Structure 1
Amino acid sequence: LWQGSPIGIPFVVVNGDEPARPATFLYDDESDPGGYRVPLDAPIEGGPQSDGDRHAIALDRDNCILYELYRAFPQPDGSWRADSGAIFDLRAHWLRPAGWTSADAAGLPILTGLVRYEEVAAGEIRHAIRFTAPQTRRAYVWPARHYASRLTEARYPPMGQRFRLRADFDISGFSQEAQVILRALKKYGMILADNGSAWYISGAPDERWDNDALRDLRRVRGADFEAVDVSSLMVLPDSGITATGAASQAVVNAANYRAGAVSPGLIVSLFGPGIGPDEPAVFELGPDGRVGTELAGVTVRFGGLAAPLLYVSTAQINAIVPYAVTGPKTEVEVFYRGASVFRRTVSVVEAAPGVFQPVLNQDYSPNSPTNPAERGSIAVVFGTGEGATDPLGIDGQPALEIFPRPVLPGKVEVAGRPVEILYAGAAPQLVAGVFQVNFRVPEDVPAGAVPLRVSVGPYQTSPRLRLHVR
């Protein structure tokens, strides 16, 4: 305790059946709409009577979804009122939209940067640590998405700046608990996430902490750190995927960058170092009218089956999972100039739907806060991962005369309610693996940014998808 209030930022772990509660926000235009699976009795930073940041955090362990609220107040009607809120799909790599805050000033998740007692007790922290500074710059660097300052001088650090404890810093005289934290600061560093106390690292409250051992960290000074430029690790500015190291190899849904299982016909992005040519190459239809399975010296195989290739480069490949791929697992292997340069084993499921953004309005203009859809109008989404189709999809074949439809039943929900679907099937003129859904925006849907969900059978799109309604 400090001055009668608990120290640290608490969180709670919930199951997937925890009710998704409505939430209203002061900064609604930069907050993810509800529902938030945060129990009304969830621990609040500083305690229930706190007048501080009042972070409330819940981790849905069944669905790998993180819910975070800033200045959160539970309401008598079972909802939450907060200044801002963010929902993070932990199977995906998408960052928040550029310029958006989260429950933290830098627009980053909080939980992933907290020091937890279990990590220290186990002897290793395997991530960067969240920290604060009293004065920051009116700027942010990857992977941060937001700033919270009017100061522009270069002597102030931008949000997202990573600092690393110098490799030659002697930690031998520190407590064992402090040494675990200091080793993490040497290997992973710490990321500036908010305005606050100087060089203040954050942890989760736990009665098992030895406060005397932690106070040992006060001997570390700012001059013991070095600023690290991590821009070379960035693959895409809107993604947290990094470009180097074998551990950076990833297979993700190309629509939402969600890692995990693949499905027949899914368009995937493969990330890894040195997996293709330095000069990017884009597909051209072959003499048979299909997307080919070899491009600029690159081939990709799923369980031995050659995949159509849409794009290849030194760090990213976009490919289409062959429709004949079956589960429960398959091996993904990339060959470049005959050599195996990438190998991952992934699960195979019936469908893995993801929606390419933006959603389109009835006139095919991008749906956005400044260009919302009218109630009663038709909106359009393009996606991938619908799984098996009827008739069966042909690998690499554009939909020109026959428009296969998903075998599994589809559903679209706007603001939590099912809506009328006018068309759901192959996207005309586009390659097999891209689906199109036209649906009607309900007349009684609330105005603003509302949750949008597309389901194929029991499989659903990311909870961060939204539709802007006038």
Structure 2
Amino acid sequence: MKTFPRALVALVLQACLAAAYAQQCPPEVPVQGAPPPGPLPVFPATNWWNTDITAAPVDPKSASFISFINNGGVRRLHPDFGGEVKPGSVSIYGIPYAIVNGTQPKQKVKFKYWDESDGVNLDTGKPIPFYPIPAEAITEPHWVEGGAPANVDQRKKNDRHLLIIDCTNKHLYELYNVYYNPTLNKWFGGSGAFFDMTKNDRRPEGWTSADAAGLAIFPGLVRYDEAWNDNVPEIKHAIRVTVRATNGHVYPASHTAGSTSGALPMGARLRLKTNVNGVDPATRTNDPHARKIFRAMQRYGLIVADNGSDMYITGTFDKRWNNDILNPAFATLMASDFEVIKLGWKP
């Protein structure tokens, strides 16, 4: 029987994988907000974003953590995503993302937190060509969080995330607090991170990402192509959530961005209960798509990823979202409908 060198076999397999991924690229790229390359969910099934937590134990301090979030009142959920603030406006709700293919030219980005960022020569602190940023993001609205083009400096009033998926290689690039200086013809940012969506690589301990917890942002977003697509029976991943203050970090987070006593750590998971006073809280809304989101909160939970407003659920910018449905549906859920699973829990 004829045998082939291992190196040749590896090259053939690599080419086949690349071809398979390329077939799942949108017809035209770069594009903003198209469905990501499958299979879904993104990242391996064993990734922390995709872990079933229905059987995870409750943390002994769960009630205390929930009380901290309620802050003496009743904290309800809020969808921190939507479409344009006004029809035709530059300002938007939610986090946009771009899809490019493997031929997209790589750009240098000069970071404030360069020593915890990817795409940097860590010996010199100088950026290297690394991020496949589409040129459209420089001058066109709705490619960067907040809505304004990247050549508008809004770093002081907005997180200005820029998320990019390379659909050919299933690579994810995430940037925080970006700005393109048209005078210098250079990109600037707070921090940046790279993730291979075929692997479960975690950030180095102590490192941030484009998110305070050191986690990837994209896999935790509520997306229209999942939630409102009746051909997708369930959302199979955890969802990103913010709280007003945090205290340290636990697995799967790698970075600390707060030390407030009584607060949850970055990386903590909240799970929507299936029974509150004899009723399943997911059934408080009659909308089947909102219920699908709530079912994901029961099976995969919420992961604390950043400091912000308490119980704000992060999703994508998409003009098809209907906040007249989302806002009242989310308001049926309260922080007390959730429990905190054991901090740092691993299956």
Indicate the TM-score class for this superposition, using the shorter chain for normalisation: 0.5 to 0.7
Q: What is the aligned partner in structure 2 of residue 66 from structure 1?
A: 172
1:87 aligned partner: 194
Contact 2:284 2:332 in 1 (8 A): no
**Greater RCO (Cα-Cα under 8 Å, separation 6 or more):** 2
* Residue 99 of structure 2 is aligned to residue 13 of structure 1: yes
Partner residue of 2:267?
Answer: 160
Partner Cα distance (2:212, 2:344) in 1: 20
Secondary structure at the counterpart of residue 202 of structure 1: strand
For the 8 Å contact 1:21–1:78, the answer to whether it is kept is: no
Q: Which stretch shows the higher mean deviation, 113-122 or 35-44?
A: 35-44
Q: Distance in 2 between matches of 1:229 and 1:38?
A: 39
Q: Which runs of structure 2 are paired with 1:156-195 in the superposition (5 Å)? A: 156-168=263-275, 169-174=280-285, 175-195=287-307
C-alpha deviation, 1:87, in angstroms:
0.8
Separation in 2, partners of 1:61, 1:230 = 34
The sequence identity of aligned pairs, in percent, is 43
1:210 and 1:141 mapped to 2: Cα distance?
Answer: 35
Please, which of 194, 209, 215 is the counterpart of residue 321 of structure 2? Answer: 209
Rounded to whole Å, the distance in 1 between the matches of 2:178 and 2:131 is 12
SS in 2 for 1:38: coil
Letter of the structure 1 residue corresponding to residue 302 of structure 2: M
CA distance in 1, matches of 2:250, 2:135: 34
Shifted more, 91-100 versus 109-118: the winner is 91-100
- After superposition, what is the alpha-carbon deviation per residue over 1:316-358, rounded to whole angstroms, capped at 9, x for unaligned? xxxxxxxxxxxxxxxxxxxxxxxxxxxxxxxxxxxxxxxxxxx
Superposed, 1:415-434 pairs within 5 Å as: none
Separation in 2, partners of 1:172, 1:220: 10
Say whether 1:97 aligns with 2:204.
yes
Cα displacement (A) at 1:193: 0.3
Report the CA distance between 1:78 and its aligned residue.
5.0
Question: Structure 1 stretches (4+) deviating beyond 6 angstroms?
Answer: none
Question: Which protein is richer in strand relative to its size?
Answer: 1
Partner of 2:69 in structure 1? none
CA deviation after TM superposition for structure 1 residue 229, in Å: 1.9
Note the C-alpha offset of 1:25: 0.2
1:172 counterpart SS class: helix
Match for residue 200 of structure 1?
Answer: 312
Deviations, residues 420-449 of structure 1 (Å, cap 9, x unaligned): xxxxxxxxxxxxxxxxxxxxxxxxxxxxxx
Q: CA RMSD in A?
A: 1.6
User: Given residue 181 of structure 2, which amino acid in structure 1 is its aligned partner?
Assistant: Q
2:333 to 192, 215, 220: 220
Instruction: Deviation per CA, 1:380-406: give whole Å up to 9, x if none.
Output: xxxxxxxxxxxxxxxxxxxxxxxxxxx
Rounded to whole Å, the distance in 2 between the matches of 1:190 and 1:103 is 18
Question: Residue 22 and residue 104 in structure 1: after superposition, are their counterparts in 2 closer, same or farther (change >3 A)?
Answer: same
Q: CA deviation at 1:230?
A: 6.1
Match of 2:131 in 1: 36
Structure exhibiting the larger radius of gyration computed from Cα positions: 1
TM-score, normalisation: structure 2: 0.64
One-letter code of the match for 1:75? N
Match of 1:46 in 2: 146
Specify every segment of 5 or more residues in structure 1 that has no aligned partner in the other structure, as ranges.
Answer: 234-242, 244-470
Aligned-partner SS, 1:88 = strand
Partner of 1:382: none
What does 1:154-303 correspond to in 2, within 5 Å? 155-168=262-275, 169-174=280-285, 175-215=287-327, 216-229=329-342, 231-233=344-346, 243=347
Aligned to 1:140: 249
CA distance in 2 between counterparts of 1:213 and 1:27 reads: 39
* Residue type of the alignment partner of 1:127: H
CA distance in 2, matches of 1:75, 1:64: 29
CA drift at 1:142: 0.4
Q: How many pairs align?
A: 231
8 Å Cα contact 2:251-2:345 kept in structure 1: no
Question: SS at 1:203's partner residue?
Answer: strand
Matches within 5 A, 1:373-412: none
Matched residues in 2 for 1:232 and 1:7: separation? 32
Structure-2 separation of matches of 1:194 and 1:172: 28
